[in-house]
Amino acid sequence: MGTEVERKFLVTSGAWRPAVRCSEPMVQVYLASDPACSIRVRIAGDAAHLNIKGRTIGASRPEFEYPIALTDATEMMHTFGGPSVEKVRHHVEYDGWDWEVDEFSGANEGLVVAEIELDQEDDAFARPPWLGREVTGDARYYNLTLAAHPWREWRHEA
């Protein structure tokens, strides 16, 4: 079983932009979800993946991800539909660590979140100056939640 260990932060400025190594637009459609797991299809550029994530405990959760044909992903999205999230993912290096900075669009436009994947929850890492408040345990910032309850609808509460 795969395990994802991820910490998530709000981004407070665009100071990360000069360090972008590459960027990719992506769309994620959630096919099914319940408290135990979510199933989504993601298209990023010309690649597609089927992803199953379990319940988050701390900063960790079980995760399985499989490459699938782009035509299959497109058909799944149209056939099974479901809430979706659109964003551009920017890959940024800071102090030897790889960060993913997601700029959301559509109903979540204006939200920018940075994520770092770790080997263990207690791994030490340098915090870039453009990081704001940590939202790792805040379910409102899960992509699944953002798909069903877009940020623009609750932004005044953030």
Q: Which residues contact 150 (CB under 8 A, 6 or more apart)?
A: 106, 107, 108
Expressed as residue numbers, the domain containing 51 is: 3-157
Catalytic machinery residues: 30
According to the model, what pLDDT value does residue 1 have? 55
75 dihedral zone (left: phi>0; alpha: psi -120 to 50; beta):
alpha
User: Among all chains, which residue has been given the structure tokens 């089927």?
Assistant: 50
Give CA 84 to chain center in angstroms: 12
Q: Is the pTM of this model over 0.85?
A: yes
Split into its structural domains, the chain has a count of 1
CATH number, residue 78: 2.40.320.10
Do the beta carbons of residue 122 and residue 58 sit within 8 Å?
no
Residuewise pLDDT in 10s, the chain (158 residues): 587 788 999 999 999 999 999 999 999 999 988 878 899 999 999 999 999 988 877 777 788 999 999 999 999 999 998 899 999 999 999 999 999 999 999 999 999 999 999 988 889 999 999 999 999 989 899 999 999 999 988 755 54
